[in-house]
Amino acid sequence: MFEQHRETLEKALSAIADRGYWSAYPESPSPRVYGEGAAERGKEAFESYLGKPFPIEQPGTGAWIGGERSPYGIDLGVTYPEPVIDDLIAAARSALPAWRDAGPERRALTCVEIVHRVNQRSFELANAVQHTTGQAFVMAFQAGGPHAQDRALEAIAYGYAAMTASAAEARWEKPAKGDPLVMNKRFTVVPKGVALVIGCNTFPTWNAYPGLFASLVTGNPVIVKPHPRAVLPLAITVQIAREVLAEAGFDPALVSLAVEEGRGLAKTLATHPDVRVVDFTGSTEFGDWLEQNARQALVHTEKAGVNTIVLDSTGSWRGMLGNLAFSLSLYSGQMCTAPQNILVPAGGIETDEGHKSFDEVAAGLAAAVSRLLGDDAKAVELTGAIVNPDVLARVDAAPSLGEVVLESRAIKHPSFPDATVRTPVIVRVDPGKEEVFGREHFGPIAFLVPTASTQESLDVLRRTITARGALTAAAYSTSDDVLDQAERAALEAGVNLSCNLTGGVFVNQSAAFSDYHGTGANPAATASLTDPGYVAGRFHVVQSRRPA
């Protein structure tokens, strides 16, 4: 079954080995690609969910709950089954043996079919992502749809590669006095147990799919616990997964949804003795709590960090400013990969347009952001809306942290009058105030920090990222020597580095199959999306041997 996906799986396996450009799912939301009327059908499908119980049937259903409100100012009114935990876990457990026995290949092809059907519903998902995260539509489509699907396929490929790196059967023939010793051996992949994926508010699909599919392909039933503000995209995903699994003859309880209204469900699930794998994206506080308390489980977390840009010099003043302005503005900086700390020598930098003082750099960046977001109607398609009141409160408080270089501006969304839209605030912070810029301020908040020199900037990068982690770092320099030093500092801090981005590649974007998202080598994450360390612990190999 699903033999048609063998080629996709093989291409994905090549892609994770080569790490050049490849993508399974087209990112363009155009009718040429996704078909005439696909956008309209997706919107209708999304709207059909509003104000109703979500169409999912799973064992262990208690009340129907839900309170999602779009950052664009619309109450979604969708309700979901509140789980009876022990029933949900029992159903997952009883679904496990048949899924384990299906073996790596059948599981992988079934997982690809799930992703394939998710892809077909990209417009529906884009609407759901837009109205739970506040992302602008095109971003919600790309990051919530094909990019997330590529990351899912990448995780499937890594899991499959890890499970099949060694033979599943072997004949062992050891020379001996007289007849050789001969044994037939069988090696079976066994999953760790029930897996839990804890979704986040800002990227419900992109950040949940790697864990979901890495666990599922390696044989673990998965309980998906979305963020209470971003349930719908994962509910749709779970629904699709259950549908495919049932069609393939498996128990749909292999993937189930656990929704909560209040707080505490994630803790209860994550520390349940039968839950053996936990994937989490979110705050450092809760990530650390999980690592400390979910001791019966393999825990992978992606947490906060202090993403850092080092400006030393540039061969493209305008390109650099434009690129940085875009990175700060995209989804109002509400990306775990968005830059926060921009370190600039107090004496300024050399550029293709001459020497620029620190103040000129600050003014140039402020102007670039203002220019980029000058037209309200266009601006909101870049910034989207502010995801929740916590982010808004941080934006409002940011000016008190230093000297304001660029004020945040409230924008009236032309289509959604109740949407909360804010442009980035840029604040100059003294290098001595590491207690300010040395921790994450999630949202459209950037700090410009004057340093004694690029050397000091690299020291700050190394020190703050070693202490607090980061998912991204970037450096701008016309000197190969400085770039090499930046690479070395990034290696030591264990952070992925982008150099001299002045065009259409941005520090906060990573491409599946090529760019690693996070490293595991600094406190911002325990592993990369996706690398061997992310998949290997999710399964074990149990062997059986008999004389031939």
Cβ-based nearer residue to a copy of itself, 178 or 432 = 178
**In the complex, least distance from residue 154 CB atom to a copy of itself, rounded to whole angstroms:** 11
Site string for a copy of itself, 118-157 (x = CB under 8 A): ----------------------------------------
Q: Which of residues 199-228 bind a copy of itself (CB under 8 A)?
A: none
The correct pick among 114, 490, 512, 529 for binding a copy of itself (CB under 8 A) is 490
Q: Can residue 273 be called a binding residue for a copy of itself (CB under 8 A)?
A: no
Q: Can residue 464 be called a binding residue for a copy of itself (CB under 8 A)?
A: no
8 Å CB contact between 425 and 404: yes
Cβ-based nearer residue to a copy of itself, 64 or 289 = 289
- Report the interhelical angle of 85-120 vs 6-18 (nearest 10°): 90
Cβ-based nearer residue to a copy of itself, 247 or 274 = 274
8 Å CB contact between 302 and 518: yes
Q: Can residue 481 be called a binding residue for a copy of itself (CB under 8 A)?
A: no
Q: Can residue 536 be called a binding residue for a copy of itself (CB under 8 A)?
A: yes
Q: Can residue 539 be called a binding residue for a copy of itself (CB under 8 A)?
A: yes
Strands (DSSP E) contained in 249-364 are 255-257, 275-281, 298-302, 308-311, 313-314, 341-345, 349-351, 354-356
Q: In what helix (H) or strand (E) does residue 456 lie, and over which residues does it extend?
A: helix 454-468
Q: Which stretch binds a copy of itself (CB under 8 A): 146-154, 159-167, 223-231, 343-351?
A: 159-167
- 3-class SS of residue 327: helix
Cβ-based nearer residue to a copy of itself, 210 or 494 = 494
Q: Which of residues 301-320 bind a copy of itself (CB under 8 A)?
A: none
Q: Which of residues 179-198 bind a copy of itself (CB under 8 A)?
A: 181, 183, 185-188, 190, 192
Q: Please count the residues of this chain forming the interface with a copy of itself, following the rule CB under 8 A.
A: 71
**CA separation for the pair 261, 254 (Å, rounded):** 23
Q: Which of residues 52-71 bind a copy of itself (CB under 8 A)?
A: none
User: CB under 8 Å to 198, separation ≥6 — which residues?
Assistant: 225, 227, 266, 270, 278, 279, 280, 281, 282, 290
8 Å CB contact between 294 and 275: yes
Q: Can residue 86 be called a binding residue for a copy of itself (CB under 8 A)?
A: no
- 3-class SS of residue 71: coil
Q: Can residue 264 be called a binding residue for a copy of itself (CB under 8 A)?
A: no
Q: Can residue 261 be called a binding residue for a copy of itself (CB under 8 A)?
A: no
Q: Which of residues 349-378 bind a copy of itself (CB under 8 A)?
A: none
Q: Can residue 532 be called a binding residue for a copy of itself (CB under 8 A)?
A: yes
Q: Can residue 501 be called a binding residue for a copy of itself (CB under 8 A)?
A: yes
Site string for a copy of itself, 16-35 (x = CB under 8 A): xxxxxx--------------
- What does the buried/exposed string (b/e) look like for 169-201 if buried means 16 or more CB atoms within 10 Å of the residue's CB? eeeeeeeeeeeeeeeeeeebbbbbbbbbbbbbb
**In the complex, least distance from residue 192 CB atom to a copy of itself, rounded to whole angstroms:** 7
**CA separation for the pair 141, 127 (Å, rounded):** 8
Q: Which stretch binds a copy of itself (CB under 8 A): 201-209, 416-424, 449-457, 534-542?
A: 534-542
Q: Can residue 393 be called a binding residue for a copy of itself (CB under 8 A)?
A: no
Please give the distance of CA 194 from its chain centroid, rounded to a whole number: 21
Q: Can residue 4 be called a binding residue for a copy of itself (CB under 8 A)?
A: no
Q: Can residue 516 be called a binding residue for a copy of itself (CB under 8 A)?
A: yes
Backbone angles phi, psi at 409, to 5 degrees: -125, 135
What's the one-letter identity of residue 406? L
**In the complex, least distance from residue 537 CB atom to a copy of itself, rounded to whole angstroms:** 5
The correct pick among 51, 53, 62, 503 for binding a copy of itself (CB under 8 A) is 503
Q: Can residue 98 be called a binding residue for a copy of itself (CB under 8 A)?
A: no
Cβ-based nearer residue to a copy of itself, 134 or 339 = 339
Q: Can residue 92 be called a binding residue for a copy of itself (CB under 8 A)?
A: no
- Report the interhelical angle of 209-217 vs 232-247 (nearest 10°): 20
**CA separation for the pair 479, 500 (Å, rounded):** 11
* 500's tokens: 């001299």
Q: Tell me the C-alpha to C-alpha distance, in Å, between residue 293 and each of 208, 272, 287.
A: 21, 10, 10
Q: Which stretch binds a copy of itself (CB under 8 A): 50-58, 127-135, 324-332, 497-505?
A: 497-505
Q: Which stretch binds a copy of itself (CB under 8 A): 115-123, 342-350, 398-406, 518-526?
A: 518-526
CA dihedral sign, ordered 128, 132, 137, 141: negative
The correct pick among 94, 172, 353, 479 for binding a copy of itself (CB under 8 A) is 172
Report long-range pairs for 42-48 (Cβ below 8 Å, ≥24 apart): 42/121, 42/122, 42/123, 42/124, 42/125, 42/126, 42/127, 43/123, 43/124, 43/127, 45/121, 45/123, 45/124, 45/127, 46/124, 46/127, 46/128, 46/131, 47/127
**In the complex, least distance from residue 100 CB atom to a copy of itself, rounded to whole angstroms:** 8
Calculate the dihedral angle through the C-alpha atoms of 276, 277, 281, 287, rounding to the nearest 10 degrees: 50
Q: Can residue 491 be called a binding residue for a copy of itself (CB under 8 A)?
A: yes
**In the complex, least distance from residue 174 CB atom to a copy of itself, rounded to whole angstroms:** 5
The correct pick among 243, 291, 350, 360 for binding a copy of itself (CB under 8 A) is 291
The correct pick among 115, 498, 508, 529 for binding a copy of itself (CB under 8 A) is 498
**CA separation for the pair 408, 398 (Å, rounded):** 9
